[in-house]
Structure 1
């Protein structure tokens, strides 16, 4: 199983003319992209995400601003990723609880391995812990 990790996309250009970063199908992300969406105008005090997926893999990119992504794996391992460059994304595997916080003006681009399916979401942290064979012993865990 792949763990959450940063992915650096190629960067082409120069300071004098600007840059372009490219993501080609399965060359830079470990799955075929079947859905793309973006979030924006999220107030600083609002935590988005707060869920896990049974099957969907994602790569999150802060195309503007800064996004702090917290992931929790079924074994309780928690990692925090700071996305502040449109050249870097974070891979979110299935079965990883994830929460995002945004700076003002932040725009998040998401590349997803599957089309939207509400049945693929685990929206309760307690259920997330139950599904993976652990009781919810930490009420302060990410996303609770």
Structure 2
């Protein structure tokens, strides 16, 4: 989990996130997920090269992370000044979106469909040293 600097006064809060400073990579892509209800599961993939930081800037959601070796963790993203760092080659599921949830995703790489692993069994095989 990462906590980002906040500057605030009577006018409200300002959260600052700088690539290479507050997160461990330079940001090459930004996208966000909104309009997903609590029953929707997003993500459901791993990435060969891309690292991510996920921040729920409005509302809340959960992120389940699996390493392909039987370990998993669930993170609740519910504060707009905190996020989760996801290194490459971890399986991620985003789910349990609250009404009005906006999940901001910062990525270390430009989009490349070829580096996505969308089959969990193939991911496990790659992690265990298989060629996929």
Number of matched pairs: 129
In the alignment, structure 2 segments of 5+ residues that lack a partner are none
- State whether residues 69 and 124 of structure 2, in contact with CA within 8 Å, keep that contact through their aligned partners in structure 1: no
Where in structure 2 are the equivalents of 1:126-137 lying within 5 Å? 126-133=121-128
Large movers: runs of 4+ above 4 Å: none
Give distance in 2, aligned partners of 1:51 and 1:11: 31
* Partner secondary structure for residue 76 of structure 1: coil
> Which residue matches 2:64?
70
Residue 109 of structure 1 is matched in structure 2 by 104
Q: Over aligned residues, Cα RMSD in angstroms?
A: 1.3
Shift of 1:54: 0.4
- Alignment partner of 1:119: what SS? helix
1:60 alignment partner, SS class: strand
> By how many angstroms is 1:134 displaced?
7.5
Shift of 1:107: 0.3
TM-score by length of 1: 0.86
CA distance in 1, matches of 2:19, 2:44: 27
> Under a length normalisation based on structure 2, what TM-score does the superposition of the two structures give?
0.93
